[in-house]
Amino acid sequence: AGVKYNENVDSDVALKVIADHVRTVAFAIGDGVLPSNEGRGYVIRRLLRRAVRYGKMLGMNRPFMFELVETVGDIMGVYYPEVVDKRDFIIKVIKTEEERFHETLTDGLAILADISAQAKAEGRDMISGADAFKLYDTYGFPFDLTEDYADEQGLKVDREGFDEAMQEQRKRARDAHQDNASMKIQGGALSDLAVKSEFVGYNDLVTESKIVAIVYEDVLVDSVSEGQTCQVVLDVTPFYAESGGQVSDQGLLRGGKVTAKVEGLFKAPQGQHVHQVVVEAGELNVGDTVKAEVDQALRGEIEKNHTATHLLHKALKEVLGDHVNQAGSLVEPGRLRFDFSHFGSITEEELADIELRVNRAIWSQLDVNIELKPIDEAKALGAMALFGEKYGDIVRVVKVGDYSIELCGGCHVSNTSQIGLFKLVSESGIGSGVRRIEAVTGRFGFEYMEGQLELLKVSAGLVKSKLSEVPKRIESLQQQIKDLSRENESLQSKLSAIEAGQLTDQVVQAGGVQLLAARVQASSMDALRAIADELKGKLPAAVLVLGAAMDDKVNFVVAVPSELTKAGLHAGKLVKEIAAVCGGGGGGRPDMAQAGGKDASKLDEALQRAHELVAVASQG
């Protein structure tokens, strides 16, 4: 930046902010946190943008933060090797984010210019707080930058209105947070609950359990009756509580005359598994002993998808590179969803390779071994740890043969052969540097492929072909379409010539200029232009205004000879006014222009308007 340290207080602050923020951002991206519009990713995005703003104060009006990553690695790499190991990826992420923010600033400045111009036109000397907040919230445009620009334009910014809009947004966020039922529960009766609850569901799917607490409408109660929904804590539970992307188990609590459906779980502030329960029959009481039964079919499907997620993670690293890191996941009975860090698109060939690698791991019948190990030992073995997850001194290591090893608290199959089948359903980008894969396994994979086969059968029926010959039949039909299209173009050309020949005697004088303003038969804009091209050869000195009605709409083409464009006639301006008669618009070059209209009933009126316009323009 050409700025020396310790010479100016403001520039010293800017230098410190940039140094601090580039360290933070580099470490976070090395851990797998990518800039985004929510959660921890939003924090990183804001830090980056704040540093860029301070860079502008130093005269840095181009991306520069990415150039500092190497220096961060040189200084901090001994203590934080990820900054060195993942340097290229970190640089790419930061550079991309910087470039996008510079584009955002450009867009914001353009919008701010419009807002300022409008304020001046309305006689106002102030930009509203709502407009300033929209720039901040939508485009990441800092308030002080809006103030600087406004000052240059002789305007002020409504700071009070901006602050009010900011407070309203924060209130909406708080309200949304409070509307979350589980969050209200965790802040209420369960917040200080001291009873113990042990999870044994890795090995046992049915247990004899004692009810140690019941919460009804955010209050601890002794019992609940049939038809009521409540939260239940058991001393021992086989039910897995939603965590790490894996959804909760479902099942039943049964004992004596009581039956209660477990619809889901979450973890209380003190770590207990809290069961979301609907009492279907009888009465639940604190102190009762019930049989807790996990729905084994659902758990089995979840386990298949969770182990498949580990295989997918490994396959992605093998095919795309070690920079791939999990950025989110969802594991439920019917499907799996996996978000991961990767800049750029993924080819069909790469996707096919990824899918094949996962299926090979399934077909190889790899044993899934799960052990508890000291975290340092687990990491030494190469176990992948996920950013944002909290690990204790002893961790659960999930090892799939010699293929995959991760730290994970979820539920898994005992052998990959139990997964049966892995099928990718979709792949897409969901944010800056984050992509998403959705897939199905087991019977859901079979059902998906059956559905695809059914589509193929329907297609075969439509093209009157055997299944195996559908591609060949489609190629044949495509060739027929091309041949028919060429034939249609040839016929259209002949029809255009015939149409043009019939119109040449309709030329009139309009203010000393030859004009042909006529209604023609043309099924498309291309056909209309073809007629105009034909007429230009037959009537080189005439202004052409052609209109064609298609259903309720109308198309126009206007052509003006080059000699007349020099005299001031402009096809684009003419067609715009003519189309306006029919409720449309358009434009184009001085010699050739086209437009559309919504009301075909006014076509003749529009053509009459063409006579008036050409006459006036030619005399001007």
* 521-538 pLDDT, tens digit each: 887 888 888 888 888 888
Fold of 500-619: Diaminopimelate Epimerase; Chain A, domain 1 (3.10.310)
Residue 167, burial from CB neighbour count under 10 angstroms (0-12, 13-18, 19+)? exposed
Beta strands in 551-609 (DSSP E): 553-559, 585-588, 592-597
For residue 159, pLDDT beyond 80: yes
Q: How far apart are CA 388 and CA 518, in angstroms?
A: 71
Q: Once rounded to an integer, what is the mean pLDDT over residues 197-210?
A: 96
Residue closest to 69 by CA, chosen among 91, 97, 41: 91
Candidate ranges 305-319, 465-479, 545-559; pick with highest mean pLDDT: 305-319
Q: Once rounded to an integer, what is the mean pLDDT over residues 182-194?
A: 66
Q: How far apart are CA 197 and CA 273, in angstroms?
A: 6
Q: How far apart are CA 214 and CA 280, in angstroms?
A: 16
Rounded to the nearest 5 degrees, what angle is found at the Cα of 546, between the Cα atoms of 564 and 582? 110
Q: Once rounded to an integer, what is the mean pLDDT over residues 384-392?
A: 65
Q: How many residues does the chain have?
A: 620
Calculate what percentage of the chain has a pLDDT beyond 90.
47
Residue 210 vs residue 569, higher pLDDT:
210
Q: Per residue in 24-52, pLDDT tens? A: 999 998 887 888 767 788 888 889 988 98
For residue 380, pLDDT beyond 80: yes
Following CA atoms 336, 341, 342, 343 in sequence, which dihedral angle do they give, to the nearest 10 degrees? 130
Domain covering 300-449 assigned CATH 3.30.980.10 in the classification: yes
Q: Once rounded to an integer, what is the mean pLDDT over residues 200-217?
A: 95
Q: Do domains 189-294 and 500-619 have the same CATH topology?
A: no
Q: What is the pLDDT of residue 168?
A: 87
Residue closest to 571 by CA, chosen among 592, 544, 598: 592
Residue with token string 């006639």: 569
Q: Per residue in 242-277, pLDDT tens? A: 988 999 999 999 998 999 999 999 999 888 999 999
Q: Establish how many alpha carbons lie within 13 A of residue 339's alpha carbon, considering only the half-sphere containing its beta carbon.
A: 17
Q: What is the pLDDT of residue 82?
A: 86
Band (382; pLDDT cuts 50, 70, 90): confident
Q: How far apart are CA 440 and CA 422, in angstroms?
A: 6
Q: What is the pLDDT of residue 284?
A: 95
Listed in sequence order, the residues at least 6 apart from 320 whose beta carbon sits closer than 8 Å to its beta carbon are 342, 346, 350
Residue closest to 262 by CA, chosen among 236, 300, 293, 285: 293
Contact at 8 Å (CB) between 163 and 129? Answer: yes
Q: How far apart are CA 549 and CA 599, in angstroms?
A: 9
Residue 386 vs residue 81, higher pLDDT:
81
Q: Per residue in 64-121, pLDDT tens? A: 999 999 999 999 988 888 899 889 889 988 998 888 888 877 777 788 888 888 888 8
Q: Once rounded to an integer, what is the mean pLDDT over residues 170-194?
A: 64
Q: What does the domain layout of the chain look like in residue ranges? A: 9-176, 189-294, 300-449, 500-619
Q: Once rounded to an integer, what is the mean pLDDT over residues 166-193?
A: 66
Phi, psi of 573 (to 5 degrees): -70, -40
Band (234; pLDDT cuts 50, 70, 90): very high
Q: Per residue in 423-473, pLDDT tens? A: 999 999 887 678 999 999 999 999 999 999 999 999 999 988 898 888 999
Q: What is the pLDDT of residue 122?
A: 84
For residue 421, pLDDT beyond 90: yes
Listed in sequence order, the residues at least 6 apart from 431 whose beta carbon sits closer than 8 Å to its beta carbon are 34, 36, 37, 41
- DSSP 8-state code for residue 66: G
Q: Once rounded to an integer, what is the mean pLDDT over residues 319-337?
A: 90
Q: What is the pLDDT of residue 440?
A: 97
Listed in sequence order, the residues at least 6 apart from 563 whose beta carbon sits closer than 8 Å to its beta carbon are 541
Q: Which CATH architecture has domain 189-294?
A: Beta Barrel (2.40)
For residue 183, pLDDT beyond 60: no
Q: What is the pLDDT of residue 389?
A: 60
Band (488; pLDDT cuts 50, 70, 90): confident
Listed in sequence order, the residues at least 6 apart from 466 whose beta carbon sits closer than 8 Å to its beta carbon are 460
**Average pLDDT along the chain:** 88
Q: How far apart are CA 463 and CA 86, in angstroms?
A: 52
